Chains A and B, each alone.
Chain A
Amino acid sequence: MTRALGVTWALLAGCEPIAPLDTAAPVEPGSMLTTVTSAENANEDGTVLVTVDVDDATTAFLVTATGSDTARLALEEIRDPSGKVVLDANDWGFGPNTLTDAFFPTGPQTVSQWPIRPEDGPLSPGKWKVEFSSTDDGGPVDVTTLSKADFDFSTGVVDAQIVWAQGVDQEPGVQEAVEVAVERWRAIWADIGITLRESYRKSDIDPDLDLYPLGSAGVLASAENGTGHSVQVIIGELVSGQNFLYGVAAGIPGTVVPSEETFVLVSWLTHAGFDGTFDNYEEKRILGETLAHEIGHFMGLAHPVEQGWGQHDALGDTDECSSMSSCQTLLGSNLMFPYPVCTGYPATDCTPQGDLSGDQLGVLNRYTATL
């Protein structure tokens, strides 16, 4: 697989200009979105070039590219209408800062958001080019581009569909615990001006969630019952697979376009602990922070620092640190810190983690499904 300039084009059309949000009148958030789909084929060298038509009203876009089951897709670069490369995998893929995992070919789907950060600036009108690479040279690639017309990057509304894996809502105390946890998630977002608009639904998804990273048809079917722009959180008993996970987002970012990979997975059991019961508020609060943390990944946030203290996010206002003690001091209350800071002996307390920086808020508000 090599890189080459475009041979395959996603010809996007029909994007009607949408007026900026009128704050005086209620606007259904979904009306600010435009969806364009196309069926493409990768070039003989695996390149897929997608054109995104950006008009005066478009403020962000999310491109979801999905190849065949055996294909592995990755983002290579994004170019603005002048041809300037604004995002290049070579600048980010193996550097000390994490901006997105779209550069890594982990599965048949890759998701690219632009702009990601406040410093990425506004979109200029014209034809933007998003270039992917696929391991399936010449293979089919379905592309869905979601564009939003929402000029207000200081507040927003996010629809979330919370899905019970089969029988999980019948487990004693779990439904109540998740509802309390959702209130914690809502409070974290309320502090930064984002409104959570959740709904619940049952499913027949196996509660032993062996869905990461590729998802399933059941995930797709459930997502298709949502608004079409909902983040989807699946509550299961365990998150199985190659590693023992407690909560996981399909990607940084993930896609709200209904797909087999439209998911955040969360295990209720591991949050209930050894006794399997949510018998104190602390456990429910931590569950709520996991929900908000994983959705944060899904909407584009990386950890401000990774354990090891050498890898940081790409945001300018999250503190830099280089040791466990300094990182816990500076970032231990940040929602996206990689672990809860639990101290004391024999205490059972962990520091509440709900803080978000201005740039982190900027990422969440730029995510195309934040309306």
Chain B
Amino acid sequence: MQRAILALTTLAAPAVATAAPGDWVPTEQESALLQALSLRDGSPSCGEMEAGLPNATASLTAVVAHVSMPPWAPMRAAECLVAGHAVEVRADVVRWVTDPGLKGLGILALSRLDAMPADVAIEVASAAIERGPDPAGARVRVAKAANPAVSGLAVVKP
């Protein structure tokens, strides 16, 4: 059962994997964001978590780039980027679906095509099918999109 009674407070130093100290030092608000992203059962809504962040896109992007533990923290941050900031981070999302080292983010993005503006979703889906590491898997996920202009991209042309 999700039991996410939210009261954002400061957080102990987050676990990060890819950045050296100094690359990104979370602010107090970002530490609170990290704590909310770390809840095991699930997190509060993106809107709740982004409240109080001066630049939510930058903070969420930093989490995706720098945090690896718990493993769902960057995934949830990516979810919020896709849901609310897809236009701003479209180049990042395209990279997620084409870089084999970002398979998790890529699957997540392809599962959330309906949350993106149509033009972004089409660009992301096309990139995954044409340049991604798993075109067949991408087609399966793209085909589930509600927007026919997006799901139609999964059809293999003769």
Contacts and interface: CB of A to CB of B under 8 A. Distances in A.
A171 to B, nearest CB: 9
Main secondary structure of the interface of A (DSSP, over half): loop
A97 B38 CA distance: 23
Interface stretch (A113-121, A197-205, A338-346): A338-346
Given A306-B5, A338-B40, A339-B39, A270 B144 contact: no
A343 B72 contact: no
A288 to B, nearest CB: 12
Nearest to A298: B1
A277 interface: yes
B107 A269 contact: yes
A95 interface: no
A244 B10 contact: no
Contacts, number: 166
Given A237-B111, A249-B1, A345-B21, A274 B105 contact: yes
Contact of A244 (B42, B64, B66): B42
Nearest to A270: B72
19 contacts: A238-B108, A239-B42, A244-B43, A244-B76, A246-B40, A248-B42, A250-B1, A252-B1, A274-B74, A274-B75, A275-B104, A297-B1, A306-B3, A323-B9, A339-B40, A343-B15, A345-B15, A346-B15, A350-B15
A184 B147 CA distance: 42
A4 to B, nearest CB: 29
A276 B106 contact: yes
Nearest to A349: B15
Contacts of B103: 275-277
Contacts of A308: 5-7
Contacts of A243: 2, 4, 42-45
A273 B144 contact: no
A275 B101 contact: yes
B72 to A, nearest CB: 4
Number of chain A interface residues as a range? 35 or more
B11 interface: yes
Contact of A311 (B5, B35, B74): B5
A214 to B, nearest CB: 14
A237 B107 contact: yes
B20 to A, nearest CB: 7
A346 B20 contact: yes
Contact of A340 (B5, B38, B74): B38
A345 to B, nearest CB: 5
Contacts of A328: 12
B11 A245 contact: no
Given A244-B79, A274-B75, A342 B38 contact: yes
Closest CB pairs A-B (n = 7): A276-B103, A273-B71, A276-B104, A308-B7, A245-B42, A342-B15, A270-B72
Q: Which residue among B4, B66, B75 has the maximum number of chain A CB atoms within 10 Å of its CB? A: B75
Contacts of B64: 274
A252 B41 CA distance: 13
A286 interface: yes
Contacts of A249: 1
A239 B21 CA distance: 33
Contact of A342 (B4, B39, B70): B70
Q: Which residue among A247, A277, A340, A343 has the maximum number of chain B CB atoms within 10 Å of its CB? A: A340
A311 B41 CA distance: 16
B68 interface: yes
Nearest to A302: B3
Contacts of A311: 5
B43 A247 contact: no
A248 B71 contact: no
Q: Which residue among B19, B41, B101 has the maximum number of chain A CB atoms within 10 Å of its CB? A: B41
A358 to B, nearest CB: 22
Interface string B99-118: 00111111110010000000
A348 B68 contact: yes
A247 B74 CA distance: 16
